Structure 1
Amino acid sequence: MKWDIYIYKELIITKNILGINFTELCEKQTKELKKGIDEKYITTNAKDMFKWQNIKNYFAIQNGIAWKWISEFIGDKENIIFFNESDEKIAFLFYSSYDLINILSETSGFEFYVTDRSLSYLICCNHHDYLIVAGKAKKWLMNRTN
């Protein structure tokens, strides 16, 4: 099974079951978003397909439920979730982090990244149960874990 079809279908099915509204970004918008993320948060010599391996100026914590904390930082603001290129090619705009967490709570585990339209932060949850943050989210997670 191709992952990019799997994640997309799982998100859409879960969206319909829970009645949560989110918007798919087109492939062009997603590419522009990822390019901006790469320029701002990813080391320039990064060749790996997993962005989380090359995030610069980050803070991370290993905790299997830390991804649920995302709503503490984002609150009811819009956010965009995207994935490793090999897993899913498009991103999704959520209108509240509470909706995002509700969707993620009902899906199988997969690596994901979250940011906002202005790319003021980058949040990643990887398959090693690390919550990795950069930008404005870095200070928040550092304070939360101290």
Structure 2
Amino acid sequence: MTDWSTCIRDEVLRAARVVGAPLDVVDQAAAVALRHELCARYCEDFRLEFGRNNLNYYAAVHDPASFLWAARFLGDSVGYMLYDSSHAKDQYVFRVPNGQVLRAVLEECFGFQFYVTDECLSFVLCLTDDDCLMGCGRARSWVESFRANMRRSEPE
């Protein structure tokens, strides 16, 4: 039986090698602590796992290109990329030096649901596997602005 979490980890590391991206895997204790802190800040029920179905007070927009927007929001800041691994033994988190590296890695990977946050955990961006970008914290109003711009550009 293939562990989906390990499969995604291997894909992210492969993509990082291909594009020459400096990507670090956060140790397990720090990864678990980061997930718990994100859940405490951004989840409806902190007793549950961190994940999109438990996010609270978010804005969302559907767009196939939205996986690139997370990298744009991270910008020049150091951040973390994580993905759903609540049912896995190991919970992988990657430290990314900036949004440009994140974008390069994501463009090389197969699609999967992932989350991005900064070192201060001041936001969470979640890209779902159905091209929905969800933003919490500082990212909420930013995602709302994308949604508003999309509505303005719709044909009458």
The match for 1:68 is: 68
Superposed CA deviations along residues 88-146 of structure 1, whole A, max 9, x for unmatched, are 61100000111111101111111101111211000001112110110000111112332
1:21 aligns with 2:37: no
Superposed CA deviations along residues 17-66 of structure 1, whole A, max 9, x for unmatched, are 1111011100000001000011000112664x671011111000111111
Give the distance between the partners of 2:76 and 2:50, measured in 1 at CA: 28
User: Residues 92 and 19 from structure 1, CA distance in 2 versus in 1: closer, same or farther, beyond 3 angstroms?
Assistant: same
SS of match in other structure, 2:124: strand
Superposed CA deviations along residues 6-27 of structure 1, whole A, max 9, x for unmatched, are 1111111111111110111000
Q: CA RMSD in A?
A: 1.6
Instruction: Check whether the contact 2:61–2:146 (CA below 8 A) recurs between aligned residues.
Output: no
TM-score, normalization by structure 1: 0.92
The match for 1:119 is: 121
Instruction: Check whether the contact 1:125–1:131 (CA below 8 A) recurs between aligned residues.
Output: yes
User: For the pair shown, which has the larger CA radius of gyration, 1 or 2?
Assistant: 2
Unmatched segments (≥5 aa) in structure 1: none
Matches within 5 A, 1:43-122: 43-44=44-45, 47=48, 51-85=51-85, 86=87, 89-122=91-124
Question: What is the aligned residue count?
Answer: 145
Percent of aligned positions with the same letter in both sequences? 23
Instruction: Check whether the contact 1:78–1:96 (CA below 8 A) recurs between aligned residues.
Output: yes
